[in-house]
Amino acid sequence: MTYVYPVVSRRAGGVSVGINLNPNNACNWRCVYCQVPGLTRGAAPEINLSLLEHELASFLHELMHGDFMATRVPESARRINDIALSGNGEPTSAKAFVEVIGLIGRAVARFGLTGKIKLILITNGSLMDKAYVQDGLHQMRTLNGEVWFKLDSATREGLRRINHAKLSPERVFANLQAVASQCATWLQTCLFVIDGTPPSALEQQAYLDFVRRIVSAGVPVQGVLLYGLARPSQQPEAPRLSALPADWLEAFAEKIRARGLAVRVSV
């Protein structure tokens, strides 16, 4: 299908219905660890809303009334866990973002899933100040909405080096406040070794100071989804990257917890 795809997650114990609003492999960031081949800088294309609505309804029908669960999903994961706006670029760059949330709401209601599953937005958070994104987040709140907000670095230099993003930490913090006021929000952080070196002491301290500021300001962040490199990057920097040891990630997670946020670690 063009927009809809399944992800079977043993860890979540269910099926995530993915929605890719960037089938053109375009994103306004270029993270060095990105797994999208042929990634280009840009925005989501015009969305064929009727096709997306048809694909979503067809797949939900297959999950609930067809043989997909029985033939392709382990018995322990035969449930719909969520619908996730993710894919091959930044989903909030789709100008029809509000309309997309609306059609998801109609599909969830049609299949009796309102309040039973989550609607997750996986985002780099760079467009949270846009009025149409705020309108979409407002609608998401009525659909058990949850946002995973990317924060790989809390320094201007790190944001440029890792995400190729021209944002300041101040702008990131303001965007985080904007989204957390609308939906349950988790920080999503990828840490790794680059050129044989783990995140520097300066980078670590800046991140921990950012967490401390979140807590002190009362920004309602649920916690941090901390993870490392699980699959090879498809970007030119790939040969320079490698995974951190699991005990390094866990030790850093403890430092985050000590500053007041919960952490889930995935290696």
Give the pair of three-digit tokens for residue 62.
Answer: 């297959």
Please tell me what DSSP assigns to residue 258: H
User: What's the CATH code of the domain at 230?
Assistant: 3.20.20.70
Mean pLDDT over all residues of the chain? 96
- 67 CB-near residues (< 8 Å, 6+ apart): none
Residue 12 predicted with pLDDT over 80:
no
pLDDT (tens digit, 9 = 90+) per residue, 61-87? 999 999 999 999 998 899 999 999 998
Q: Is the dihedral of CA 6, 127, 31, 10 positive or negative?
A: negative
Q: Give yes or no for a contact between 18 and 7, defined as CB atoms under 8 angstroms apart.
A: yes
The confidence score (pLDDT) of residue 9 equals 78
Average the pLDDT over 179-183 and give the result: 96
Q: Encode 150-162: b = buried (16+ Cβ within 10 Å), e = exposed.
A: bbbbbbbebbebb
In the chain, at which residue ranges do the beta strands (DSSP E only) sit? 4-9, 14-20, 26-27, 40-41, 80-86, 118-123, 145-150, 184-190, 193-194, 221-227, 241-242, 262-266
HSE-CB at 80 with a 13 A cutoff on CA atoms is: 27
Grade residue 104 by pLDDT with cuts at 50, 70 and 90.
very high
- Let me know if 56 is exposed, middle or buried by CB neighbors in 10 A (0-12, 13-18, 19+): buried
- 164 CB-near residues (< 8 Å, 6+ apart): 29, 30, 31, 32
Q: Give yes or no for a contact between 170 and 154, defined as CB atoms under 8 angstroms apart.
A: no
The confidence score (pLDDT) of residue 239 equals 97
Residue 128 predicted with pLDDT over 80:
yes
Residue 11 predicted with pLDDT over 70:
no
3-state secondary structure of 87: coil
State which residues form the domain around 59.
4-265
pLDDT (tens digit, 9 = 90+) per residue, 182-217? 999 999 999 999 999 999 999 999 999 999 999 999
Query: H or E element: which one contains 27?
Result: strand 26-27
pLDDT (tens digit, 9 = 90+) per residue, 210-246? 999 999 999 999 999 999 998 899 999 999 999 999 9
pLDDT (tens digit, 9 = 90+) per residue, 35-66? 999 999 999 999 999 999 999 999 999 999 99
Q: With pLDDT > 90 as the criterion, what percentage of the chain qualifies?
A: 94
The confidence score (pLDDT) of residue 267 equals 77
Query: H or E element: which one contains 4?
Result: strand 4-9
Number of domains in the chain: 1
